[in-house]
Amino acid sequence: MNVRHASLSLWCLALAACSSGGEAAAEHGSGHGTEARGEHEGEDHDEHEGGDGHEGDSHGEEAGEEREEVRLSAEAIVRSGIRVGRAERRALGGGTAIPAEVQFEASSTAHVGPLAPGRLSKVLVGLGDRVRRNQLLAVLSSSDVSDVRARMAQVRVRLAAAEAAVRRQEQLSREGIGAQRALVEAQAQADEMRAETVGLRRQLAVYGSRGGGVQLVAPIDGVVVHIHATLGEMATPDEPAFVITDPTRVWVRGNVPELEIARVALDAVAIVRVHAYPELALDGRVSYVAPALDEETRSLAIRVTLDAADARLRSGLFGTIELLGAGRDARVVAVPTDAVATLQGQQVVFVPVANEPNTFAPLVVELGRRAGGYVEVRSGLAEGAAVVTSGGFTLKSALSTSELSEGHEH
């Protein structure tokens, strides 16, 4: 098998073509500014045959199929704008794309604030901090909570007196001096004090009173995405001091135009793309369809739940929802149109060569439909395969120039 390598430097292309004889390459290389070197399976055979070397070349080509490769430096790859992506499934036809916005799931967001106004005495987290459930966020002092605790102390004193009265009436009853009615009344009063104590204790627990202050704790695992808590200021129930959300749980909201609502159905398949990350194509399903159209926009609100969220997604990102009218079968393996080149009359894409860093080889593919800057790959390239998505023209030029150089040698 013959292998041709073309090396691209940072400032210029230096192309190398294969040849069976190093002397022939030296004769012509100086006139073209290229370095030609060859690797042939039949070189030993050529030495034994002798002659002018052409007979050996013919034998080498017949021995195996020629494989072309382009090898570049890391700097050249960056300078030439060569990028590698993946062949992915897309909806090239039959789908409807609508504007969309990424949002946090309501069930994954918690607003944390006091149930009674108070002054913040400790703030233990900041914006962007990751917190765990039941983690302490802040401590505040509240006059309302102090009043409840004062009532609690009073009730405990009265309860102690009521329990003492019960014990005294029980003693008198055993001695036959006290009346049964007095004992019953003392027990009722003690029970009333116990019930009031339990109620006040629960009220303090609801307020978050522990260890002399009101504690604000995280109800869920997540990240602090909003904070309105400054040391020494008043915190009130009207505005949450902290907003915590789980960034991995998001959904996508879209508005379907009135003329397209026939394509919408619960559990319908959709593909979500965001403008910030064009390479992302996230599978999902329609999990909510509004019962009525918005009167102003004449559109129908829908929500798509993603099969697997990407860590780069952020609430507020804009993008599109592709509604697939025929389900997942409407998607085909596709690559950007810029990834396709024509070599010797064949449609090819360039793919990285395994175990050969910065080396690429053309791969013949069969193409299908084109739409939206993408082209269907019917055969030759599997879903998820690595492929050069940008800069293929540079690789094609390298191979084409290498072929011309080889033709001059012969």
Judgement on whether residues 134 and 230 belong to the same structural domain of the protein: yes
Out of 11-15, 134-138, 378-382, which region has the weakest mean confidence (pLDDT)?
A: 11-15
Q: Are 22 and 56 in the same domain?
A: yes
- Asked if residue 394 is part of any domain, the answer here is no
Tell me the angle at which helices 392-409 and 22-29 cross, rounded to the nearest 10 degrees: 110
d(CA 284, CA 200): 49
Residues 50 and 101 in one domain: no
Supply the pLDDT for residue 281: 82
Q: Do 262 and 307 share a domain, yes or no?
A: yes
Which amino acid does the sequence have at 321? Answer: I
Quick check: is 61 in a domain?
yes
Please determine, for residue 17, whether its predicted confidence score (pLDDT) is greater than 50. no
pLDDT digits (tens, 9 = 90+) for 71-110: 888 888 888 888 898 888 776 655 567 899 999 888 889 9
Highest-pLDDT range among 100-109, 329-338, 397-406: 100-109
Residues 118 and 37 in one domain: no
User: Among the three residues 213, 245, 277, which one is the final residue of a domain in this structure?
Assistant: 245
Burial status of residue 66 (CB atoms within 10 A of its CB: 0-12, 13-18, 19 or more): exposed
Domain membership of residue 224 (yes or no) is yes
Q: Which residues, including other chains, have CB under 8 Å from residue 329's CB and lie 6 or more apart?
A: none
- The verdict on residue 167 lying in a domain is yes
Tell me what the mean pLDDT of segment 118-134 comes to.
92
- Residues 117, 21, single domain; the answer is no
Mean pLDDT over all residues of the chain? Answer: 77
Q: Which of left, alpha, beta for 249 (phi over 0: left; psi -120 to 50: alpha)?
A: beta
| pLDDT (tens digit per residue) in 281-313 | 888 899 999 999 998 889 999 999 998 888 888
Q: 174 and 161, same structural domain?
A: yes
Indicate the residue among 221, 245, 269 that finishes a domain.
245
Q: Measured over all CA atoms, what is the biggest interatomic distance in the chain, rounded to whole angstroms? A: 139
Q: Residue 334 — pLDDT band, cuts 50, 70, 90?
A: confident
Region of poorest pLDDT, from 115-124, 145-154, 229-238, 268-277: 145-154
Top pLDDT among 380 and 262 is at 380
Residue 23 domain flag: yes
What's the order of all strands across the beta sheet hosting 359-364?
Answer: 13-14, 7-8, 70-72, 359-364, 346-352, 340-343
Angstrom CA distances, 67 to 1, 18, 359, 382, stand at 7, 11, 12, 20
Q: Is residue 371 part of a domain?
A: no
Residue 139 confidence (pLDDT) above 60: yes
Q: Taking a C-beta distance cutoff of 8 angstroms, is the pair 392, 349 a contact?
A: yes
Q: Which residues contact 37 (CB under 8 A, 6 or more apart)?
A: 5, 16, 18, 19, 22, 25
End position of a domain, from candidates 245, 268, 294: 245
Is the entire prediction scored with pTM above 0.75? no
CATH assignment of the domain containing 153: 2.40.50.100
Q: Which of 146, 141, 193, 142 is nearest to 165 (CA)?
A: 193
pLDDT at position 71 = 86
24 & 47 share domain: yes
Find the mean pLDDT for residues 138-150.
Answer: 84
Predicted pLDDT of residue 230 = 87
Same domain (yes/no): 128, 220:
yes
Confidence grade of residue 26 (pLDDT, cut at 50, 70, 90): very low
Q: What is the mean pLDDT of residues 130-136?
A: 93
Residue 374 within any structural domain of the chain: no
Our count of domains for the chain comes to: 3
Residues 119 and 48 in one domain: no
Q: How large is the average pLDDT for residues 167-180? A: 80
pLDDT at 178: 66
Q: Which CATH number belongs to the domain containing residue 286 in this structure? A: 2.40.30.170
Q: Report the distance separating Cα 255 and Cα 267, nearest Å.
A: 16
pLDDT of residue 407 exceeding 50: no
Average pLDDT rounded to a whole number, residues 330-352: 86
The more confident residue out of 246 and 309 is 246
Higher pLDDT, 47 or 293: 293
Same domain for 49 and 72: yes
Could you tell me if residue 124 is inside a domain? yes
In this predicted structure, what is the pLDDT of residue 399? 78
- Least confident interval from 89-98, 253-262, 308-317, 370-379: 89-98
Determine the structural domain holding residue 253 and report its residue range.
95-105+249-325
Give the pLDDT mean for 331-341: 86
Cα pseudo-dihedral 171, 175, 181, 182, rounded to 10: -40
Say whether both 168 and 235 belong to one domain: yes
Q: Higher confidence at residue 398 or residue 288?
A: 288
Mean pLDDT of 128-136: 93
